[in-house]
Structure 1
Amino acid sequence: MIRLVALDMAGTTIDDHGAVYRALQSAVEETGATVQPRDLQRWMGTDKVQAIAALMEDGGAAPDVDTVTRAFQRFREILAGLYAENPPVELPGVAAALAELRDRGVRIALTTGFDDEVAAPLLASLGWTVGTGPDDLLDAVVTTSAVAAGRPAPYLIHHAMEATGITDVREVLAAGDTVVDVQAARNAGVVAVGVLSGALDAEDFAGHPLDHLLTSVAELPGLLDLS
């Protein structure tokens, strides 16, 4: 029986209109690196500092600490500007699905490759809150600010378990729209679900270890009915 669902944010539960991709690419290209689409997809879903350093190296720039730090600050600035121009919205049916799962006793956590400074205003703009009240949608939010390493390490998911009082990985499902999301789920020992609401299609998930592939998180209540 699934008692905790841990979900990625941008591309999985939230439609940010591709802003994370564009902000990350722009910040890295400002360092002089060339960003290839396949490399950008490979590092989406990971900790953004790690992603910047890796993309710089892939693109022919030296990822020294100072340059990576400045690029990460530029990523934040660019992303904030894009969000101001075109605010993120929930993906269709997601909030209703999460509310249904909570009504059924399933705890809901969001995990993300963002840090607290990026994640908090994003959630506030959507009105998604953490708590036990009838208007709260979430039981926990775990960002890279809380863990030693982001995806594909299992720590975001395991920290979500700690935050929600779940001790058995067999009672946890984790879903996301990138390959590193499902890799993190597999590394955490939980049910791994890919969703096609982001930039990847079914072929991109082929060959990667996952238990289910859904069109959207909105389908999760039906999936849990089968478990």
Structure 2
Amino acid sequence: MNSTDNPNPNPNPTLNLIVLDMAGTTVADDGLVEQAFSAAAGTLGVEPGSADHAEKLDYVRATMGESKISVFRHLFGDEDRAQRANVAFEEAYGRLVDGGRVAPVPGAREAIERLQAEGRTVVLSTGFARTTQDAILAALGWQDLVALTLCPADAGGRGRPYPDMVLAAFLRTGAVDDVAHLVVAGDTSYDMLSGVRSGAGIVAGVLTGAHDQDQLSRHGATHVLGSVAGLPDLIARAEA
């Protein structure tokens, strides 16, 4: 659906600030996080196929959506090793992005454009560093798609599952005067926790990424959708 094709526009929308995750939610990255992690872990001597690698990869999968530097701090202990791993990860992910390995989730751009045509403010957030976020936006031609993009460093550095990026969007845009008028959508349990902790009125999980319906629901999803393409209709129903 094009942004001009909404058959029932709401002249007075109330759910006016939409904070969307990127990888797995609006951006299909096809397992690139795991590939970039393996490359980064290898630089610190973690051998692919080893028990150590498998254990660390399980943790990466469980914490999808979290700030990547926080993940590496947990995995590698001291700050120097964590920073080295993070730099290697971002470089590896950047190479994959440059190689054309990212694409929009089907219907994601159309959903964003429809939401904005309805007078809502859309913010894209990520657990990646700014350089990686910008590389993804450039690869997709999304540099000017939304009013604001946020990475953990833009909101104090903690990232998800803390509510900081969602609340930064609330403060910076001024799009709503009550956090209950926020909508948060993502594909991981940490996205759900971040939304719940921010007080968002809708915390929507999507099934195009890392975690399944049970994980999303257990961590606070108010709704679970097949993909972000269904979000505009969900919001319209909530306002009706």
Quote the RMSD (CA, aligned, Å): 1.6
Structure 1 residues 195-204 or 109-118, which shifts more?
A: 195-204
Paired residue type of 1:108: V
Aligned-partner Cα distance in 2 for 1:9–1:35: 25
- 1:87 to partner: Cα distance: 2.8
- TM-score when normalising by structure 2: 0.84
- 1:26 to partner: Cα distance: 3.3
The structure 2 residue matched to 1:171, chosen from 165, 171, 181, is 181
Judge conservation of contact 1:25–1:35 (CA < 8 Å) in 2.
no
Structure (1 or 2) with the larger CA radius of gyration: 2
- 1:208 to partner: Cα distance: 2.0
Paired residue type of 2:136: L
The equivalent of 1:11 in structure 2 is: 24
Is 1:147 matched up with 2:155? yes
Aligned-partner Cα distance in 2 for 1:29–1:11: 24
The structure 1 residue matched to 2:90, chosen from 69, 72, 76, is 76
Paired residue type of 1:179: S
Aligned-partner Cα distance in 1 for 2:40–2:60: 12
The gaps in structure 2 that reach 5 residues or longer are 1-13, 47-51
The equivalent of 2:226 in structure 1 is: 215
The structure 2 residue matched to 1:107, chosen from 115, 121, 128, is 121
The equivalent of 2:168 in structure 1 is: 159
Aligned-partner Cα distance in 2 for 1:55–1:75: 13
- 1:12 to partner: Cα distance: 0.4
Aligned-partner Cα distance in 2 for 1:174–1:25: 30
Structure 1 residues 45-54 or 202-211, which shifts more?
A: 202-211
Is 1:40 matched up with 2:60? yes
SS at match of 1:174: strand
Paired residue type of 2:218: G
Describe the shift of the 1:223–1:206 C-alpha distance in structure 2 as closer, same or farther (beyond 3 A). closer
SS at match of 2:139: helix
Q: Percent identity?
A: 32
| Deviation digits for residues 160-180 of structure 1 (CA, Å, limit 9, x no counterpart) | 112211331011000100000
Judge conservation of contact 1:153–1:187 (CA < 8 Å) in 2.
yes
- 1:121 to partner: Cα distance: 1.7
The gaps in structure 1 that reach 5 residues or longer are 57-62, 131-136
The equivalent of 1:28 in structure 2 is: 41
Judge conservation of contact 1:195–1:216 (CA < 8 Å) in 2.
yes
Aligned-partner Cα distance in 2 for 1:25–1:164: 37
Aligned-partner Cα distance in 2 for 1:79–1:104: 34
SS at match of 1:198: coil
- TM-score when normalising by structure 1: 0.89
Aligned-partner Cα distance in 2 for 1:68–1:35: 18
Paired residue type of 2:104: E
Aligned-partner Cα distance in 1 for 2:208–2:230: 11
- 1:206 to partner: Cα distance: 4.1
| Deviation digits for residues 81-102 of structure 1 (CA, Å, limit 9, x no counterpart) | 2223343111101111111110
| Deviation digits for residues 86-145 of structure 1 (CA, Å, limit 9, x no counterpart) | 431111011111111101011100111112111112101111134xxxxxx211101112
